[in-house]
Amino acid sequence: MAAESTGPTPVSNGRAILIGTAWINVPVMVLIFGGWAGLGLTAAALAAFRDTQSPAVPIVAVILATTIPFVAAWLWWSLNVPKWRMWALERTSDWPSLQQAAIAAGLIWDERKPMGRLFARSEIWSAHDRKREADLRLKHPPMSGSV
């Protein structure tokens, strides 16, 4: 008879970072650079109609085409980093080490630094996910110097 699994399959820090990068940072880059590529298409389309439109239309279009991709990418990051944290907390035996690697990889912010604390506050957590994360963190000692 096969042994039953008692929980999620553990992963190495490197694999967790690789999965986090594919899950979070790759879509962020696609949203930003794909959106900015759309800026060229928007500019070309507006150039074709420039004689029939207000002079403000191209300016507004450029502002929107540059800010919407950034906002969409930040929203993706804000919603998915908490999900990745919980996924990683369930599968790692050494969260402080994984957390340091995630900071070094640019996956999460270093909350020990003022800007890191500020940007980490943009993570979007549900009350249920926040409780689940707190429960998962109980099995890991805190990172030295953490706030």
One-character DSSP codes across 75-144: HHHHHHHHHHHHHHHHH-S-HHHHHHHHHHTTSS--TTSHHHHHHHTT----HHHHHHHHHHHTTSPPPT
Q: Which tokens hold the place of 63?
A: 């502002």
Q: Please state the rounded mean pLDDT for residues 62-67.
A: 80
What pLDDT, in 10s, does the model give residues 100-118?
999 999 999 999 999 999 9
Which pairs from 63-67 meet CB under 8 Å and 24+ separation? 65/35, 65/36, 65/38, 65/39, 66/36, 66/39
The closest of 131, 81, 98, 78 to 10, measured between CA atoms, is 98
Taking the CA atoms of residue 47, residue 50, residue 51 and residue 56 in that order, the dihedral angle to the nearest 10 degrees is: -160
What pLDDT, in 10s, does the model give residues 34-55?
888 777 777 677 666 666 566 6
The percentage of the chain sitting over the pLDDT mark of 70, rounded to a whole number, equals: 80
pTM here is: 0.80
Domain spans of the chain? 24-137
